[in-house]
Chains A and B, each alone.
Chain A
Amino acid sequence: GAGVSQSPSNKVTEKGKDVELRCDPISGHTALYWYRQSLGQGLEFLIYFQGNSAPDKSGLPSDRFSAERTGGSVSTLTIQRTQQEDSAVYLCASSLAEAGEGYGYTFGSGTRLTVV
């Protein structure tokens, strides 16, 4: 597609429920990041995928968080047993090369997750 697409754009869920967030990167982009941004705050790194390499999961805050990237394209971020502190905007970004080498990242519009 023309840009990075994220769905849903908004998600309200009850505490304890599982949620799945989807990211459809720009076609051909090998690098994909997930970040989390709380209101008025910076970008918190969650996970990084680069091609067929093992993902860098060092930013995932707990074992309730997991992510996968199928076929080197679409990625899903899953949060199990959601907690209120999980409420944030979840941003996905993709790039043509690894770690932004020579290329900037294109961000999606994010998924605003609210846990009630």
Chain B
Amino acid sequence: GQQVMQIPQYQHVQEGEDFTTYCNSSTTLSNIQWYKQRPGGHPVFLIQLVKSGEVKKQKRLTFQFGEAKKNSSLHITATQTTDVGTYFCAGNNNDMRFGAGTRLTVKP
């Protein structure tokens, strides 16, 4: 079945440093979604990527979808303490499967 791998599992950065999480699928995806889960909260939808090679930006967040539509990345520029949480990718190919998530902690 479809497998979605996400790395790294944890990332600790100093406030102001950049952060990137990567997502890889064993199969070609129709689209990929990204979610953020704050500590103690539930996942909240951030964005969806559909097109091969697509790049989308939300303020300091940049999302990319690979040319083969099998990988994606989320990059945060100049992290802030409010960025703390776990970032999940979710790959869609008939159904939606989540990666294990990357837990980001930010030291002020």
Contact = CB atoms under 8 A, between A and B. Distances in A.
A81 to B, nearest CB: 27
Task: Give the dominant DSSP class at A's interface.
Answer: loop
Contacts of B73: none
Interface in B16-50: 30-31, 33, 35, 41-48, 50
Q: Is the interface of B mostly helix, strand, loop or mixed?
A: strand
Given A43-B88, A110-B42, A100 B33 contact: yes
Interface residues of B, number: 28
Given A48-B95, A99-B94, A99-B95, A105 B42 contact: no
Given A42-B88, A42-B101, A100-B92, 13 more contacts: A35-B98, A48-B96, A58-B1, A99-B92, A102-B50, A104-B48, A105-B33, A105-B43, A105-B45, A105-B90, A106-B45, A107-B43, A108-B42
